[in-house]
Amino acid sequence: MAFQDFDYLSERRKAERSRKLKKRITIAVISSLALAAVVAAGVIAVVRSDHKDDNKGNSEAAPAGPSKQISHSEKAIKMVCSSTDYQETCKNTLAKAVKGDESQAQPKDLMKLAIKAVGDEITAALNKTEKFKFESPEEKGAFEDCKKLLEDAIEELELSTTSINGDMKKLASKTGDLNNWLSAVVSYQQTCIDGFPEGKLKSDMKKALQMADELTSNSLAIISQLSTFLSTLGGNRHLLSVDKDGFASWMSSDERRMLKGNQGEKPTPNVTVAKDGSGQFKTINEALNAIPAKYTGRYVIYVKEGVYDESVLLTKKMVNITMYGDGSQKSIVTGSKNFVDGVRTFQTATFAVEAEGFMGQAMGFRNTAGPEKHQAVAVRVKGDRAIFLNCRFEGYQDTLYVQTHRQFYRSCVIAGTVDFIFGDATSVFQNCLIVVRKPLDNQQNIVTAQGRYERHEGTGIVLQNCHIQADDKLVPAKATIKNYLGRPWKEFSRTVIMESEIDDLIHPDGWMPWDKDFALKTLYYAEYNNKGPGAKLDARVNWPGYKKNFKKADAEKFTIGTFLEGDWIRAANVPVHFGLF
């Protein structure tokens, strides 16, 4: 398989300009000019209409001056906020930020101000927590997690506002990134709140973040409105420039040579990890700690066959790491942290990825805590543009935590019991084997628990061309243990299963409620062109959010190219199918 650098935040992005740059800029300019024209026309139309109404029966024209500028600002804000769920919050926040300054009333500036307001509010929420009193180690630990998550949120909000700093022509290629970052900010806030035990402190934290929650929702709505408009122009996709061999134009000659011969070869590692001492390091953590502060391109770590009992964390600074082993059942990272023993779910992961551009291949990841220990994560993935190839994830409850950002899993095995693929990432699983294991006698199995909290988020879980089957130990009990495709962890939970094989273990209902009628009207669950005895749709749930008439055109929206904006996967030159099979 292939390994190469696709870190769009690194300095190497400056080299992306190529022969086709002029053409892309031309397209972007046309789109941006059209957008500016429509926005301006909308504001002028609203202003003129209101001006006529205000002067009906009055022969005197309204005097020119500051009041006219303020009116224009108000109308621009009203229009920008029209698609939001919290319109009064939106209008009041932007009006306060603009302060009647006509120069700040342009759509790009209002968008930037809306996002900046989220960061200001999260900072204010953090300041409020200085007065919190912690009555238990659990509360103190939850607060430490929360603080880190909110700091990550502020960082991604700053990244968002910075990306809007250029002129309007660049926004066409930024809407996907903006939705990705803002969706992560939503998830961070909810993960923060979820980490606290039930009680006053959790309520106080939720209250402190209430305004930030509304402002994030509004920012997402504004971005979605922009994206919808640009899609009508065909100008919101940023396509990679590639050469005649299909490689990204900014790739070095060494990387191209490596990729051309990659199918049966392993890349030359920067370092090797081996338990027997034949490498530079005996543990994965030692190898990670030795990564240079600065390096160019992709840093490759080879993990030789062995079982590595350690908790691994790739921090945000460890971008563009490739880690490959000798096979998913040979090079294995294992651990047993779990909720019952007092570890917060967020911290139970055996292997956690917070860095962007991670690629894992031919590795196994386990959490061996067992079903009686409840939440016990094998892998938690938070870093953007993560790819896993030919990997194996083994656990029971909460095996794979697809926390945030864009993730792609190809030809992997995921095994578990309750909610064993969960989180709020934009994640696609292609050609994967989903193995449902035997749970506790009083439990039911649920494959997915997607955590989309806000309707404007672009997140969801997609299983495409996968196979859902029972583990050998579950087979004798599959008639008595109920097994479901998913349940809604959050209000706008979104999961699509398409072109997959579903064995007879799945209950005819297909899907399971979380708690009574919670989210049944707002969730988005769909199945398309699946096969197997468990794929029959005639007895499926009759919820408002379950899409009974899910057609080909609907399914195409959840393919790699559209849903995951998968050009970054194409650049990595890994096996991938962009459309429907």
Identify the burial level of 36 via C-beta atoms within 10 angstroms of its C-beta, where 0-12 means exposed, 13-18 middle and 19 or more buried. middle
Provide the 10 A C-beta neighbour count for residue 531.
12
pLDDT of residue 358: 98
Residue 204 lies in a domain: yes
Q: Where are the beta strands (DSSP E) in 370-405?
A: 379-381, 386-389, 392-394, 400-402
CB 547 within 8 A of CB 522: no
Domain that holds residue 228: 72-232
Residue 421, domain CATH: 2.160.20.10
Residue 62 lies in a domain: no
User: Is 519 found in the same domain as 411?
Assistant: yes
User: Is 223 found in the same domain as 359?
Assistant: no
CB 426 within 8 A of CB 180: yes
d(CA 278, CA 483): 45
User: Is 216 found in the same domain as 92?
Assistant: yes
pLDDT of residue 232: 60
Q: Where are the beta strands (DSSP E) in 142-210?
A: none
d(CA 396, CA 25): 49
User: Is 474 found in the same domain as 558?
Assistant: yes
Q: What token pair was written down for 519?
A: 């989210």
Q: Confirm whether 509 is a catalytic residue.
A: no
CA distances 108 to 34, 89, 105, Å, are: 14, 19, 8
pLDDT of residue 342: 94
433-436 and 413-416: which strand pairing? Answer: parallel
Neighbouring residues of 253: CB distance < 8 A, sequence distance ≥ 6: none
pLDDT of residue 256: 47
Residue 34 lies in a domain: no
390 HSE (CA, 13 A, CB side): 15
Question: Among the three residues 202, 232, 262, which one is the final residue of a domain in this structure?
Answer: 232
Residue 18 lies in a domain: no
Question: Among the three residues 232, 267, 290, which one is the final residue of a domain in this structure?
Answer: 232
User: Is 208 found in the same domain as 319?
Assistant: no
Q: Is the dihedral of CA 512, 517, 523, 527 positive or negative?
A: positive
240-264: string of b/e by CB count within 10 Å (b at 16+)? bebeeeebbbbbeeebbebbeebee
pTM of the entire predicted model: 0.86
User: Is 185 found in the same domain as 265?
Assistant: no
Residue 268 lies in a domain: yes
Question: Among the three residues 232, 266, 288, which one is the final residue of a domain in this structure?
Answer: 232
- The 3-state secondary structure of 46-106 reads HHHHHHHHHCCCCCCCCCCCHHHHHHHHHHHHHHHHHHCCCHHHHHHHHHHHHCCCHHHCC
pLDDT of residue 41: 42
For residue 262, list its beta bridge partners.
none
Q: How many folded domains does the chain comprise? A: 2
User: Is 417 found in the same domain as 505?
Assistant: yes
Residue 382: DSSP 8-state: -
User: Is 532 found in the same domain as 385?
Assistant: yes
Among the options 398, 419, 503, 567, which is catalytic?
Answer: 419
d(CA 409, CA 522): 27
User: Is 411 found in the same domain as 281?
Assistant: yes
User: Is 280 found in the same domain as 213?
Assistant: no
pLDDT truncated to tens, each residue of the chain (581 aa)? Answer: 443 333 333 333 344 444 444 444 444 444 444 444 444 444 433 433 344 444 434 434 444 444 444 557 888 899 999 999 999 999 999 999 988 677 777 888 899 999 999 999 999 999 999 889 999 999 999 999 999 999 999 999 999 999 987 666 677 788 999 999 999 999 999 999 999 999 999 999 999 999 999 999 999 999 988 877 666 655 445 444 444 444 444 344 444 444 444 445 688 999 999 999 999 999 999 999 999 999 989 999 999 999 999 999 999 999 999 999 999 999 999 999 999 999 999 999 999 999 999 999 999 999 999 999 999 999 999 999 999 999 999 999 999 999 999 999 999 999 999 999 999 999 999 999 999 999 999 999 999 999 999 999 999 999 999 999 999 999 999 889 999 999 999 999 999 999 999 999 999 999 999 999 999 999 999 999 999 999 999 999 999 999 999 999 999 999 999 999 988 998 888 899 999 99
User: Is 275 found in the same domain as 163?
Assistant: no
For residue 386, list its beta bridge partners.
407
User: Is 227 found in the same domain as 300?
Assistant: no
Residue 560 lies in a domain: yes
Residue 223 lies in a domain: yes
Residue 136, domain CATH: 1.20.140.40
Residue 346 lies in a domain: yes
